[in-house]
Amino acid sequence: MTQADGVLDSIVIGAGQAGLSASYHLSRLGIEHVVLDANAHPGGAWQHRWDALTMRDVHGVAELPGSVPPPLTRERANSAIPGYFAGYEAEHELPVVRPVKVERVESGDDGILTVHAGERSWRARTIVNATGTWTQPFIPHYPGAETFRGEQFHTVAYPGPEHFRGKRTLVVGGGASAVQFLGAIAPITDTVWVTRREPVWRTDDFTPEAGIAAVALVEQRVAQGLPPESVVSVTGLALREQEREAERLGAYASRRPMFERIEQTGARWHDGSFEAVDAIIWATGFRPAIAHLAPLQLRSPAGGIQLDREGRGTGAVADERVQLVGYGPSASTIGANRAGRAAAAGVRRALGARQPA
């Protein structure tokens, strides 16, 4: 297909793992497209992660299609993965344009989608949204949070473990990031861990088959139009060797339920008990970065964007021109590559193409 009329066949928004995977498969299908990335450099959200996060600490970066990921060494993840992504973009000559911060996507009367970014715009017959969640950190509101005299950090601004040495730290959240933070700081300072629900620990090996099964459970929610939950919410939590010292110190066993409010020097529980702390880490997750899609009115009455399970869970039911990767099941590295392939196939279907894979 060509863009002689100034209209692309597709636009991929975001150049993280899922976006690059989608671009790779679109290219193999001969579908003319560009990839618009808000970052000035390759690497997606990984380039913004904290320096203390090494490749051996990450959950396992699923390789991009047709390549081998960096080894699980002590190299910084915010260096190794951007380098890997940059090499991949160059090797496969992916059409990435950056930096481009997409502000909104609109549909014209002619059925063409227009992607707006400041004074620039692109037109296409389909889009693949791959903006992920990193730019939308979520911090729940608790009374008194604004009065706290200590420091507060969300995962996106985590400064590394040494910053907390000697500072009694409250870690909020029941996901893998909270477990990692505790593993890093419990050996060098006193910690308090709080979660909304009792943590669910898995003791078996997390096999590829288990990962696929977990993704399938998250797919069930988005297939119903419900807001997506994280993959870790169905996989359960596991401790790695680098977290065993924190386990020995009781950092995980002493977990407490959520507090009622925050005070100037700590947190107060419903039973009146109080924990004095110097810092709070909000490991409370993220929300999908999809505000720019609002003009397309994709949300279902249930509050999420309903995805078509027949198309492997990437096509928006409300608009066949829109594919979403890095949303719901593919927000995890487990499902990103599979989603990129499915999205490219969805684009081809929407275009009515008859090209061999």
- The mean per-residue pLDDT over the stretch 300-326 comes to 85
pLDDT at 2: 42
Q: Please, are residues 121 and 115 in contact by the beta-carbon 8 Å criterion? A: yes
Would residue 344 be called left, alpha or beta, if left means φ above 0 and alpha means ψ between -120 and 50 degrees?
Answer: alpha
Quick check: 164 pLDDT over 50?
yes
- % the chain with pLDDT above 90: 68
Report how far residue 30's alpha carbon sits from residue 85's, in angstroms, rounded to the nearest whole number.
21
Q: Is the per-residue pLDDT at 25 higher than 60?
A: yes
What's the whole-number mean pLDDT along residues 103-123?
A: 96
Q: Is the pLDDT of residue 221 over 80?
A: no
Per DSSP bridges, beta strands 120-129 and 8-13 are parallel
Our CA dihedral for 164, 169, 170, 172, rounded to 10 degrees, sits at 20
What is the average pLDDT value for the chain, to the nearest integer? 88
Q: Which amino acid belongs to residue 161? A: P
Give the torsion sign (CA, 213, 214, 217, 219): negative
Q: What are the residues facing 128 on neighbouring strands? A: 12, 323
pLDDT band at 318 (very low <50, low <70, confident <90, very high): very high
135 neighbors 154 (Cβ within 8 angstroms): no
Q: How far apart are CA 233 and CA 231, in angstroms?
A: 5
- Of 23, 39, 33, the C-alpha closest to 115 is 33
pLDDT of 311 above 50: no
Let me know: does 218 contact 231? Beta carbons within 8 Å: yes
Instruction: Say which DSSP state 70 is in.
Output: P
Q: Position 77: which residue type?
A: A
Please give the helix or strand (H or E) that residue 106 lies within, else none: strand 104-107
Whether residue 88 has pLDDT greater than 60: yes
Average pLDDT of span 223-252:
77
**Which of 146-155, 298-307, 314-323 comes out lowest in average pLDDT?**
298-307
Q: Give the angle 183-275-236 at the CA atoms, nearest 5°.
A: 35
Residue 5: pLDDT band (50, 70, 90) is: low
Task: Give the predicted TM-score (pTM) of the model.
Answer: 0.85
pLDDT tens for 54-68 read: 888 776 666 799 898
CA distance 345 to 29: 8
DSSP string, 290-328: -GGGGGG--B-TTSSB-EEGGGTS-EETT-TTEEE-SSG
**Two tokens at 196?**
């909304």
206 pLDDT band, cuts 50/70/90, is low
**Which residues face 262 on adjacent strands?**
267
pLDDT(281) > 90: yes
